[in-house]
Amino acid sequence: MLTSKSRLDNAYKNAKQLAFDDNSKFILFSDCHRGDNSFADDFANNRNIYFHALKHYFSEGFTYIELGDGDELWENLTFKSILDAHKNVYDLMQLFYNQQRLHLLWGNHDMVYRDPKNVEKYLYTYFDERMGEVMPLFPSIQIHESIVLKHAETQQELFLVHGHQADWWNFLFWKWSRFMVRVLWKPLNVMGIADPTEPAKNYKEMIKIERRTKKWIVANNNLITVCGHTHRPRFPEPGDIAI
């Protein structure tokens, strides 16, 4: 069986390489969990502040990289319900995309994007009901597991990945977790009962995932690694492990 280490190794080996230099500007977001604007949509409360921040980064020339779980495809059965709910956000992301300034990774909640056929089906185009025609969204977009940003001169690397590679339950059994979210946890959530397999809601699990990720980083020469998944903000101090 693949371990956290080998899953992170694979993600690093297969990462999309992106060159950058001292003038490059990147904005990274992770775990937006965009939903359908219903009570279960955790993104809905923050959509305005997110939208205005992203608009600012667009006009300032930043490249937008999303580190997975951008679309909440466990609670929502269709991408269309998410697109309809947050069309302004996708229009803005399209502006980034049209200028080659958008890069998306998949996480466990949008792991269906690991299959390029689903990416094509969901994201290349959408049907605009007002116009009565099929419109482009992100035509030919590729969604990656990971990205390595590599400095053109110094060769300094930054590894970007969602982070569920160090969470064997959510990497291997995401279909089972997705099913449980749909039938059990989504309704129970309303009553304040949280899904224990979600690291963001399970402190012990979260610490274990962070520990496995840190171990991998140390084994890889303290490779600077940026990941999401646990929903816990963490920034290393000088001299700390580069997570």
Binding footprint of Mn ion on the chain (CB under 5 A)? 69, 107-108, 229
* Nearest distance in Å: CB 170, Mn ion: 7
Do residues 150 and 20 touch, judged by C-beta distance below 8 A?
yes
What's the min distance (Å) between Cβ of 229 and Mn ion? 4
CB of 165 to Mn ion, least distance (A): 10
Q: In a 3-state reduction of DSSP, which class is residue 239? A: coil
* Minimum CB distance to Mn ion, residue 27 (Å): 19
For residue 64, the Cα-to-chain-centroid distance in whole angstroms is 12
Nearer to Mn ion, 108 or 177 (CB): 108
E strand map for the chain: 16-20, 26-29, 63-66, 102-105, 125-128, 133-136, 143-144, 146-151, 157-161, 224-227
Nearer Cβ to Mn ion, position 101 or 229? 229
Give the largest CA-CA distance in the chain: 57
Smallest separation, CB 140 to Mn ion (Å): 26
Distance between CA atoms of residues 176 and 137, nearest Å: 30
The nearer residue to Mn ion, 103 or 229, going by C-beta atoms, is 229
SS3 (DSSP) at 12: helix
Nearer to Mn ion, 148 or 161 (CB): 161
**Comparison of 58 and 143: residue with beta carbon closer to Mn ion:** 143
Minimum CB–partner distance for residue 197 and Mn ion (Å): 11
Give the Cα separation of 162 and 142 in Å (integer).
16
Smallest separation, CB 156 to Mn ion (Å): 27
Q: Which is nearer to Mn ion, 4 or 108 (CB)?
A: 108
Instruction: Give the Cα separation of 215 and 225 in Å (integer).
Output: 12
**Pick from 160, 168, 237: nearest CA to 209:** 168
Query: Which of the 8 DSSP states describes residue 236?
Result: P
Is 203 buried (19+), middle (13-18) or exposed (0-12) by CB count in 10 A? Answer: exposed
Q: Which is nearer to Mn ion, 35 or 107 (CB)?
A: 107
